[in-house]
Amino acid sequence: MRIMAILIDKPLWHFRGEKWSHLVSDTSYEELHSFAEKLGIPKRVFQGDHYDIPERFWQKAVDLGARPTEPRELVKRLRAAGLRKRRK
């Protein structure tokens, strides 16, 4: 049996003077929104299938239970769960 998870990759992407991570769920968007709320991230910044998380929130996300994951594995798990949105 596979363990479902909230996943976060390393803060690697630069934007607005900060590094950013991606936060996803490989279970459901509801799980992801609930976790983001606990983290203090507003739902309005949801990016269709993930949240962009500034580096300053990374450790808090891990402390709350997000599993650090390599970016390619994060995308692979999101696709396998059927939760990956295609870009238009």
**In angstroms, rounded to a whole number, what is the distance separating the alpha carbons of residues 46 and 48?**
6
Segment 34-88, tens digit of pLDDT: 999 999 999 999 999 999 999 999 999 999 999 999 999 999 999 998 888 876 5
Is 23 within the bounds of a domain? yes
Is 31 within the bounds of a domain? yes
Q: How many residues does the chain have?
A: 88
Task: Classify strands 18-25 and 6-8 as parallel, antiparallel or unpaired.
Answer: antiparallel
Is 1 within the bounds of a domain? no
For 1-88, strand residue ranges (E) read: 6-8, 13-15, 18-25, 51-54, 67-68
Q: What are phi and psi of 57, to 5 degrees?
A: -100, -5
Is 85 within the bounds of a domain? no
Segment 2-39, tens digit of pLDDT: 556 999 999 999 999 999 999 999 999 999 999 999 99
Is 87 within the bounds of a domain? no
Domain of 61, in residue numbers: 6-80
Is 12 within the bounds of a domain? yes
Is 88 within the bounds of a domain? no
Say how many domains are in the chain: 1
The span from the first CA to the last CA of the chain, in angstroms, equals 34
